[in-house]
Amino acid sequence: MNGTGYTVEILDRDTQSDPARAGQLARDLTGRAVTLLVYILLAVMWNALADFAGLVSIGQTLFFGLAAYTTIRLADVGLDPYLAILASVATGAGLGYVTSLFMLSLKGGEFAIGMWVLSSLAHLCVNLDPLIQGETGTSLISLNAYPIETRSSLTLWLALGLTAAVLLTLFTLLRSPTRAAVNAIRDDELGAKSIGIDVMRTKRIIFVLAAAGTAAAGALWLASNLNFQPRVFFGVHWTAYMIFMVLVGGLGRIEGAIIGAILFFVIETFFATYGAWYLVGLGAVAVFVALILPKGLWGWIGPRLPGEAIPTGYIVEKSKA
């Protein structure tokens, strides 16, 4: 018997003799899967906002944190926690629309700083809620009504469903004529206006989608970890993670954002316990990729494939005479 078969046999015996240990292992794996899906949502949404709409935001924690807070609030008044999560995603989309009415008039650095200011204000307001108890925070205790195995499975399936829905929506959007409008606006906003493109409407579509996707990530993170502490959910480190994943994976492609999220997940899984050295390692990886692969990992992988992994381009067919 080879080494691999022997290891599997030993693991099977261990899990059979200790069902509790097997159950804990399954829940840990499920939790890590949800974490990966949260990272994918964050990376893809920030990529869509920064590249497709040309909006570099350092305040997407506005939607991430408020979605978690909304879930806590709705669950506290008696709504089922999983329905509260779905409602918080819808609320995130609504907040994104309202925010876009005044934020999209800002350009470049003004937009980036403006989003950070809004996120900071939201953080302060959440701290004033007696239910949250300031930075002490609270927990999504209503999830305890579900058996732990059921809760773990439902959270994973909900994460899979929300991630698939957001990615499918973005894919459909980029396969529509909106993609051409987005490219035109990114390359020359004034030129896009001159040929009749509704710049604000196009940007608003991407902005609202990014808000909803980021809100989904925040609500799922709460469901996976249960504890809500404002400084964690509104922390600027989330912005750093989003930028790292997108720039390392490859700005401008859904595949790049997903690869960046997977790479970040792997690095975190194996090296997060190293404390400050973990952060140094993240910085070193970012610098290495920026110097050696300026278009990110997908910028190197993509051209070597026979076709597009996720075909988001559009095709113009010649009309027949």
pLDDT in tens, 141-188: 999 899 999 999 999 999 999 999 999 999 998 888 777 787 787 777
pLDDT given at position 11: 44
Name the residue with higher pLDDT: 193 or 265.
265
Burial class (CB in 10 A: 0-12, 13-18, 19+), 234: buried
DSSP secondary structure letter of residue 306: S
User: Could you give the 3-state DSSP secondary structure of residue 316?
Assistant: coil
54 torsion bin: left (phi>0), alpha (psi -120 to 50), beta (else): left
Backbone angles phi, psi at 318, to 5 degrees: -75, 135
pLDDT at 187: 73
pLDDT of residue 247: 92
Provide the β-strand partners of residue 227. Answer: 139
pLDDT at 313: 57
Q: What's the token pair of residue 131?
A: 């239910």
Nearest to 118 by CA among 213, 203, 234: 234
pLDDT of residue 87: 97
- Output the pLDDT for position 167: 95
pLDDT 10s digits, 219-271: 999 999 989 999 999 999 999 999 999 999 998 888 999 999 999 999 998 88
85 or 195: whose pLDDT is higher? 85
1-52 pLDDT, tens digit each: 444 443 434 444 444 457 778 778 888 889 999 999 999 999 999 999 988 7
Query: Across the chain, what does the average pLDDT equal?
Result: 86
Name which of 103, 134, 128 is nearest 116 in CA terms: 103
In terms of pLDDT, which residue wins out, 310 or 290? Answer: 290
Helix (H) or strand (E) segment spanning residue 53: none
pLDDT digits (tens, 9 = 90+) for 129-140: 999 988 889 999
| Alpha helices per DSSP H over 104-177 | 108-127, 148-174
The SS3 of residue 195 is coil
Alpha carbons 123 and 155: distance in angstroms, whole number: 25
